[in-house]
Amino acid sequence: MPRIIAGFAGSLQLKVPPSGATRPTSDRVREAVFSALDARGVLAGARVLDLYAGTGALGLEAASRGAAEVVLVDRQNAATRVGTENARRVERSAPRGTALSVRVTAQPVQAFLGGATGGWTLVFLDPPYELGAAELAHNLEALVPLLAADAVVVLERSSRDPEPVWPDGLELERRRDYGDTAVYWLIADEPADASAVRPPEGPAPVAQPATPDQST
């Protein structure tokens, strides 16, 4: 069962959807990712977008470590119900006076990106390994104009898959492999459209899923 590793909600156990509905990021990979993010100093006050969020483990870990705003996106209702419960538990763990906003939306990632406003400083993508290369490339392209300048994007894929195609506006910084998981670190290499950089306006409507995302 995944848990929050560090921060004000450290050691909090996260609930998971029924078996097979998600593929949680292992504690080993999350520890490595967040150790690197801590070293960069990007978590305090971050605006975080967790795509294919599943249990919300990545976005909620960021919240526990100082992010100011987190949005969890997953099309699967079972995942978003659990993600919502996990989010409320993390919020209740926050010290009094902590400025933290966590929202959960049940939408396909493509639909969310098509209607979202921007200014995100940290983005996690942990799509199902079977997600096609063309759909992933489309999602990354749609994400670029929503990023703040110098935003960090962390993408997980199967280490056996070929490297994704990177759109203009995202620069590959490095790749790290952890067994079957490859983690790609990307940086927004040009400023986002200023008209897009403003906070999202409330939670998105819940959409009924067509197929499960089997995400984090």
pLDDT in tens, 157-206: 999 999 999 999 999 999 999 999 999 999 998 654 444 444 444 444 34
In a domain? residue 127:
yes
Domain count, the chain: 1
**Distance in angstroms (rounded) separating the CA atoms of residues 188 and 171:** 6
- What's the whole-number mean pLDDT along residues 45-73? 97
Q: Is residue 72 part of a domain?
A: yes
- Give the residue numbers spanning the domain of 78: 27-196
Specify the CATH number for the domain of residue 122.
3.40.50.150
Residue 55 counted as domain residue: yes
**In this structure, is residue 129 part of a structural domain?**
yes
- Is 8 contained in some domain? no
pLDDT exceeds 70 at position 152: yes
Residue 211 in domain: no
pLDDT tens digits, 86-118:
999 999 999 998 989 999 999 999 999 999 999
